[in-house]
Amino acid sequence: MELLVASAIGILTAGGLYLVLRLRTFPVILGISLLTYAVNVFLFASGRLTVGSPPVLRDGVTNYADPLPQALVLTAIVISFGMTAVVVMVALGAYLGSDDDHVDDPHEPAQDGDAS
């Protein structure tokens, strides 16, 4: 199971990074979503991998899952969800305004020769 989880995190991260480097808003946003999935799984794994064990105290149970990473993941999911919504809206505004969905600065600036 460790191998499966670890390679899932690795593949998600690699795919996410590749998409982020595409530098157009849609692939970049998809890439960031993949990265947040990767980090969510990673946070889960930081509390050690257990199967079917309860996170809260219960009679007759000896093995527990660590509840803290689950709470952290919940927070992280909510935050990344909100952030993705924001970035989609801002990116959409930028695309509709300038009719260009590149993330980086344009090569030849429009009027002011702004090289820096």
Partner 1 sequence: MTHWIILLIILPAILAPFIVLAARYHMGIQRVFSIAGVSALIAIAASLAWQASDGTIILYRLGDWAAPFGIVLVGDRLSTIMVLLTSVLALFVLLYAIGSKWDERGRHFHALFQFQLMGIMGAFLTGDLFNLFVFFEVLLIASYGLMIHAGGDARLRAGVQYVLYNLLGSTLFLFALGAIYAETGTLNMADLADRIALFDGTETVGIRIAAVLLLLVFAIKAAIAPLHFWLPSSYSEAPAPVAALFAIMTKVGAYSIIRVYTLAFPPDVDVTAGLHSLWLLPAALLTMVIGAVGVLAAKKLDRLVAFSVVGSMGMVMVAIAQFTPVSIAAALYYMMHSTLAAATLFLISDLVRSSRPHLRLTTELPVSGAALTAAAFFVGAIAMAGLPPLSGFVGKLLILDASYTSPLVVWIWVIVLSASLVTVVGFARAGSTIFWKAESVEKPEDYAPDPRPSALSYVAVGGLVSLLIAHTVFAGPMHRLMSDTSAQLFAPEPYISTVLDTPGRLSKPKDASDTAEKKEE
Residues of this chain that bind partner 1 (CB under 8 A): 20, 25, 28-29, 32, 35-36, 39, 42-43, 45-48, 68-69, 72, 75-76, 79-80, 82-84, 86-87, 90-91, 93-94, 97-98, 103-105, 112-116
Residue 33 token pair? 């979503």
With beta carbons less than 8 A apart as the criterion, state whether 21 and 104 touch. no
Question: Which 8-state DSSP code applies to residue 102?
Answer: B
Q: Is 105 helix (H, G, I), strand (E, B) or coil?
A: coil
> Could you tell me which residues come within 8 angstroms of residue 19 by beta carbon, excluding any fewer than 6 positions away?
27, 28, 30, 31, 34
Beta-bridged to residue 24, according to DSSP, are 102
d(CA 5, CA 26): 27
Closest approach of partner 1 to the CB of residue 98, in Å = 5
Closer residue to partner 1 in complex, CB, 60/65: 65
Closer residue to partner 1 in complex, CB, 54/82: 82
Closest approach of partner 1 to the CB of residue 103, in Å = 6
Closest approach of partner 1 to the CB of residue 74, in Å = 12
Closest approach of partner 1 to the CB of residue 62, in Å = 19
Closer residue to partner 1 in complex, CB, 108/112: 112
